[in-house]
Amino acid sequence: MLNAAVCLVLLLASAGARSADGNSLELGRQEYLNSCAVCHGSDGRGQTPRAEQLKVEPANLRLLAKRNGGDFPTARVYETIDGRLAVKAHGGREMPVWGARYTSEAGPANNNHPYRMEAEVRGRILTLIDYLYTLQD
């Protein structure tokens, strides 16, 4: 049986390779605008009025693939969003700037169903990643 880490990597690799439908891309765009654009800008370049107030310059998200040898780093992006990969500018790993948005805040209807809650959060992250993939230069 494959361990959980291998399964996650396989899932994420297939997520980056699949083509998202228009609805999924729109959901990803909305996630991006709600959670990321304030610092990274609506175009992903990291040049915003808020960015000027930060101690660490926000990354240009349009260069993720370019800075990774031309391959979009799906697993690293996923771990950055869900808080497992520490990003100094995002604060502590326990509490990224999004708070519980991508960990347990999946809505009161799912509070008694942790697996549904996890699936919803995972889906939101994957739609966001699909949208980030479309921003690449």
Look at residues 133, 137, 136 and name the one whose alpha carbon lies nearest to residue 16: 133
HSE toward the beta carbon, residue 128, CA cutoff 13 A = 25
Domain that holds residue 69: 4-134
Q: How far is CA 125 from the centre of its chain?
A: 5
Placement of tokens 């699936």 in the chain? 119
At 53-101, the pLDDT tens digits run 888 889 999 999 999 999 999 999 998 888 776 666 565 544 344 545 6
At 107-134, the pLDDT tens digits run 555 556 666 777 888 888 899 999 999 9
Number of H helices, E strands in the chain: 6, 0
Q: DSSP 3-state assignment of 57?
A: coil
- Domain tally, the chain: 1
Residues with Cβ within 8 Å of 79's Cβ and at least 6 positions away in sequence, in order, are: 85
